[in-house]
Amino acid sequence: MAQAQVERTFVMVKPDGVRRGLIGEVVRRYEARGLKVVAGKMMRISRELAEKHYEEHKAKPFFPELERFITSSPVFAMALEGRNAVAVVRAMNGATKPWEAATGTVRGDLALALTPNVVHASDSVATAQRELALYFTEADYVPYQRVDEEYL
């Protein structure tokens, strides 16, 4: 059997998650699954950063609402690392539409609406690399060994 790839992915607790006090709950879920938080910061997203982050949606009719929302309040940006981190985080987050997200997922348990759906996560390794570069420099990453890594 092939060994799973250790990957790094980008995750953001969106303004609704921050304002509802869910940062700790969201991080707890990822850590309990065996993922490592190797970088993180509380920040406000500027309009310029929002345009870069969501560049693929810039021409879509919902972009102005998305930009207003993501710049409305602080977010918690983080880099998570672990085996198949991109796919694991996407599965843990659940469907983008909270009403379609399974119970037990972040969005299925915590999200209330489509745009304010608690978290954003990279959808591929390539997207993760692009998004991580928008928020972190190499100096921001703090490598460490979890005591349970041999089991993960």
**Tens of pLDDT along 40-89?**
999 999 999 999 999 999 999 999 999 999 999 999 999 999 999 999 99
The verdict on whether 120 is a catalytic residue reads yes
In sequence order, the β-bridge partners of residue 78 are 11, 40
pLDDT(99) > 90 = yes
Q: Which residue segments constitute the domains of the chain, with CATH numbers given? A: 6-139 (3.30.70.141)
**SS3 per-residue string spanning 108-124:** HHHCCCCCCCCEEECCC
Give the pLDDT band (50/70/90) at residue 1.
very low
Kindly give, in sequence order, each residue whose CB lies less than 8 Å from that of residue 139, ignoring residues fewer than 6 positions away.
none
What was the pLDDT predicted at 87? 98
Supply the pLDDT for residue 2. Answer: 56
Tens digit of pLDDT for each residue in 101-147? 999 999 999 999 999 999 999 999 999 999 999 999 999 999 999 99
Cα R_g (the chain), whole angstroms = 15
Are 116 and 16 within 8 A, CB to CB? yes
Catalytic residue chosen out of the listed positions 89, 120, 121, 136: 120
Query: How much is the pTM?
Result: 0.94
